[in-house]
Amino acid sequence: MQQPHESPDSGHAPRGQGGTTRVLVVDDDPTVSEVVSGYLDRAGYQVDVAGDGHSALVRAAAHWPDLVVLDLMLPGMDGLEVCRRIRDRGPVPVIMLTARGDEGDRILGLEVGADDYVTKPFSPRELVLRVESVLRRTRPAVAARPVHAAGVTVDPAARRATKNGAELSLTLREFDLLAFLLRNHGRAYSREELMREVWGWDFGDMSTVTVHVRRLRGKLEDDPARPRLIQTVWGVGYRFDATPCEEAVRP
């Protein structure tokens, strides 16, 4: 693990109604857990640590986290299964840690609902910035107004999305992606632009966007193989197509 000389700024952890934001760190390597926990603690987060999947589920049930930093390779129950089981209990952002360089493993993490991933070796300070970025985007401004087009409604304040009145079960990042595309319907965005606008990154693996678009289509489209709402604009990226008679309500 890379360990930069500079320490993260303290006191920047977002505050929830119950106080300091709680982060659950799940890794079977004590050194990784110790370093990551130290950086998160100095950044103002309350940190719980688990060394395996079973312990992670127990700790999450006892003190529900605001975010989980989860190693993919765990003894017994791997990180993918832990992510699935935690998500079954309730929505929570997950950042996956992986020592593997294979793109397929990263995509697997995104497919089960991870909001971000960091490949080992990594900078603990960068991980803290990723944690802050994910949490910041899961707490939208209360004043944000609902957006509606093509039978789809997104309510940013309630973090709720529906299609023709039926609620959509979306991960946190899928919700953000849909909200952005819906709010800017009719305009095509490249994967790089979506990465910057939705994820808040100026760099990253573009497959992250591709996977989330595919997952979102699977939940939104009548026929995901022939998407009508989220269109691929060849050579550019993606566009949300509202029906001609409908206009999106903007904040």
pLDDT of residue 101: 60
Give the integer Cα–Cα distance in Å for 87 and 93.
9
What CATH number was assigned to the domain covering residues 147-240? 1.10.10.10
For 23-75, write each residue's pLDDT tens digit.
999 999 999 999 999 999 999 999 999 999 999 999 999 999 999 999 988 98
For the chain, the 3-state helix, strand and coil shares in percent, each to the nearest 5, are 35, 20, 45
For 116-155, write each residue's pLDDT tens digit.
888 888 888 889 988 988 887 766 555 578 889 889 999 9
Compute CA distances 216 → 4, 62, 67, 160, whole Å: 37, 31, 21, 14
Cα 159 to the chain's mean position, in Å?
Answer: 13
Q: Which CATH architecture has domain 15-137?
A: 3-Layer(aba) Sandwich (3.40)
Query: Where along the chain do its domains lie?
Result: 15-137, 147-240
pLDDT of residue 122: 85
pLDDT of residue 106: 67
The structure tokens 């992986």 sit at 98
DSSP-assigned letter for residue 100: -
What angle do helix axes 30-42 and 124-137 make, rounded to 10 degrees?
Answer: 60
Neighbour tally for 58: CB within 10 Å: 11
Give the integer Cα–Cα distance in Å for 221 and 213.
11
pLDDT of residue 143: 53
CA dihedral for 156, 162, 168, 174, sign (positive or negative): negative
pTM here? 0.64
* Mean pLDDT for the stretch of residues 97-119: 72
For 169-212, write each residue's pLDDT tens digit.
888 888 989 999 999 999 999 999 998 888 776 666 678 889 89
